[in-house]
Amino acid sequence: MNRKSADRKRLVLVGNGMAGISVIEQLLKLTNDYDITVIGGEPHPNYNRIQLSYVLEGSKTIDDIILNSMEWYRDNGITLHTGVRVTQADTERKLVYTDRLEPLPYDALIFAMGSRPFILPIPGADKEGVVGFRDIHDCEIMLEAAATYRKAAVIGGGLLGLEAAKGLVGKGMDVTVVHLMDTLMERQLDATAAEMLKADLEAQGLKFRMGVKTTELIGGARVEGLRFENGEVLEAQLVVMAAGIKANVEPAAASGIAVRRGILVDDSLRTSAPDVYAVGECCEHRETVYGLVAPLFEQAAVLAKRLAGDAEAVYEGSTVATKLKISGVDVFSAGEFQEMEEHTVLKLQDSWKRTYKKVLLRDGAIVGGILYGNADDSQQLAKWVKANTLMDADIHAALFGGGGCCGKEKKLVSIAAMDDAEIVCGCNGVTKGTITHAIRENGFTTIDEVKMATGATRSCGGCKPVVEQILQYVLGDRYHGAAKKEGICPCTDLSRDEIVAAIRDKRLTHVREVMHVLHWKEEEGCSKCRPAINYYLGMLWPEHEDEPESRFVNERLHANIQKDGTFSVIPRMYGGVTSPKELRKIADIADKYQVKMVKLTGGQRIDLLGVTKADLPNIWAELDMPSGYGYAKALRTVKTCVGSMFCRFGTQDSISMGIELEKRFERLDMPAKFKMAVNGCPRNCAESGIKDLGIVGNDGGWELYVGGNGGTKLRKADLLSKVKTDEELIAISSAFIQYYRENGKYLERTSDFIERAGLETVIRAVVENEENRSQLIARIEEALTHVQDPWKKTVHNETVRRQLFETVEVAPAAKQ
């Protein structure tokens, strides 16, 4: 966490949007030299403005598009002022003035105020129901209107206007796009692609008035329609202005800083004032003001490096690439797109499949292109355009088919050539390096996993093909293609990772709350998802109060139900060690309650079989021994040999270590049942090779093995680490268990988890990365401080015990 310090420089960021906060995010990775203050005009934390169209159409909520929560600012020591307007800066005294706060001193100042919609200067533009489409407030106005009124008009047939129009259609409105030009998106598409787009959008319910000029908005206090230059009137109770944007330059201009269309900056993103910088839609670089997000992230990366002391970092401009984010329409444009005499033109159009591809060359180099109907090659085309790559046979084959290398090999070569700093996901500013790091560190194998961890593909999805190629490149032979997305059960389409991320991001704390907020198909859930959610809540929030009604019947009754309806009771015997006193007590209870069978288990414990449901509470109370958790998704047993305490071959005290580990982790919930074994020598009498965590002692210390299974899916455990001391053994064991708790799927044994995650990934996270290991240990220690023994709570509280055992219905237990 950043902490305020007198020796740190004071950095003030004016603007709480994507560009400015991207600077801060990058800067925090590079240095801790700044005390940071952020001033935002909206009453919200940083959010993804690009995804407003999804909020409008209803596929996302406002909470879904928050990029950095209020907790993020606090955790990073950032002072955030929301709902505050900056009026100007005194660049000599280095003070920032606002409409609400005392003057704020700075050592470095960043203007990142973005832009505002261009509102046509026509009569009626100030009426109620006339709105731009730039922020959450605009979106809320549009949603409110969509719930009340029927007809809407969107002025502007560019990228933003079409997204707004499609969102309103999705809300049931009758929407007409009014455009001054004869073709849609004329700044990104040629006539052919524009006409295909118009036809496809008409098929989705949009209407168009092309080549018309709006001269007046008519109505009373609220807008009722548009009047065109030819006198025609179009009815509308909501008018969205999407005819362009204007950079917010007023505070900079009032400060005496040079502005034209935007705040003028050089290749270091510096303004005309010392120690004052600008990024994003409010700045003008080399006579260009960018209105798309990818250039803004590129600017942010450069400025962060500059502020961290990298004098070599420069911004030389961006290649503009555009992708339309409308369901059912795949369209992409980069660089030059209108044919000129100096261009060599490559085209491929399929009217039946409704695909169109055009690439423009100048002197043999790729300078621009359009993809319509299939934009899988969009990221690669954008890269070739940016680099002015010379067209060759392989590239031609990759784009237009036929000849050259196979597509798979060509894609891998292109991914290998990408720089780690190159942005893959323009919507969220995710680089190739971030994605490859996430894959390697976490063992990701699917696009969904990458999406949840990094945000790549989360917005428009245009980068999905490249993310898949990166997965293929990093994993090599371990890559098996994009896994089909399946929910954790029929009640939901959400995966384990999506549910966990939502619980974390939305701070959900109860099973029913999770199902309600995440729109479960079955309101009550099922025996598969309810225990899973209960586990995820406890894993994420150690203070979570367990919800017994969401557990399997075996766990609720603290006994395993048998095929005849009776139960088996297994008291815990730490490390398989007992005493004559315990044995006598067990024997007396077996006689008293006419237990059908007394059996020694494979985990070195005694199992009382054939116990009736009515006798369970009394048996547990009279035993007064901890439950052996023979039913739990937790540590079941720690099997031990006698080790150096008695065995002539023993080199380590396996019994003491087994008891210590069992007492340490015995009550901790895990994704599935978990078995351990500790051997005092390599003779392996306790069968460590087929346990979830197996430990083998030798003359030099201990060996730790993971992922073993002696059940229906027999699997030999893999060597995780070799350690010399007991302290190291406990540390590595703790880190592995917590890593499994946080990343394993519910009911997924470690044998399956190791195969899915990859042993090398686990070793890097648990053994080699000391910082990550320390964090895992800290989290499991925190979890252990909050663990409550549900067995003890039930057995030693008579009221709870009676209510539970008398009211619970005995249903078949789920597969354990």
Rounded Cα–Cα distance for residues 723 and 169 (Å) = 63
Residue 381 contacts residue 360 (beta carbons within 8 Å): no
Q: Which residues contact 95 (CB under 8 A, 6 or more apart)?
A: 89, 103, 104, 105, 106
Q: CA 532, CA 67: separation in Å to the nearest integer? A: 27
**What is the DSSP code (8-state) at residue 103?**
P
pLDDT of 74 reads 92
The stretches of 687-797 forming alpha helices (DSSP H) are 726-743, 750-757, 759-763, 770-786, 790-795
CA–CA gap between residue 78 and residue 73 (Å, rounded): 5
Tokens 């195969």, residue located: 755
* Rounded distance between C-alpha atoms, residue 496 and residue 529, angstroms: 10
Query: If you write DSSP's letter for every residue of 629-662 in order, what string do you get?
Result: -TTSSBEEEEEE--GGGT-TT--S-HHHHHHHHH
pLDDT tens figures, 45-60: 999 888 888 788 776 7
Helix (H, G, I), strand (E, B) or coil at 54: helix
DSSP state of 813: P
Which residues does 102 contact at the CB level (< 8 Å), separation at least 6? Answer: none
Question: Per this entry, what is the length of the chain?
Answer: 816
Q: If you compute the radius of gyration of the chain from its CA atoms, what whole number of angstroms results?
A: 32
- Answer whether 104's CB lies under 8 Å from 57's CB: no
The residue among 737, 742, 649, 660 whose CA lies nearest residue 699 is 649
What is this structure's pTM?
0.56
Instruction: State the Cα–Cα distance between residues 281 and 48, nearest whole angstrom.
Output: 14
**pLDDT at position 353, please?**
78
For the chain, how are helix, strand and coil distributed in percent, rounded to 5? 35, 20, 40
Q: Looking at residue 690, what is its pLDDT?
A: 93
At residue 233, what are phi and psi to the nearest 5 degrees? -120, 135
Taking only the tens place, the pLDDT of each residue in 663-683 is 999 889 999 999 999 999 988
CA distance linking residue 315 with residue 295, whole number of Å: 10
What does the pLDDT read at residue 462? 63
Q: 264 with 271: CB under 8 angstroms?
A: yes
At residue 690's C-alpha, the angle toward residues 687 and 696, to 5°, is 50
User: Whole-angstrom Cα distance, residue 393 to residue 391?
Assistant: 7
- DSSP one-letter code for 180: S
Buried-state track 728-767, b at ≥16 Cβ within 10 A, e below 16: ebbbbbbbbbbbbbbbbbbbbbbbbbbeebbeebbbbbbb
Per DSSP, the three-state class of 807 is helix
Positions of the chain with pLDDT lower than 70, given as ranges: 1-6, 59, 324-328, 402-414, 417, 427, 458-462, 480-486, 553, 563, 712, 788-816
Domains of the chain: 9-115+247-307 (3.50.50.60), 130-243 (3.50.50.60), 496-550 (no CATH), 555-623 (3.90.480.10), 635-786 (3.30.413.10)
Locus of tokens 């009426």: 127
What is the C-alpha separation between 556 and 673, in angstroms, rounded? Answer: 16
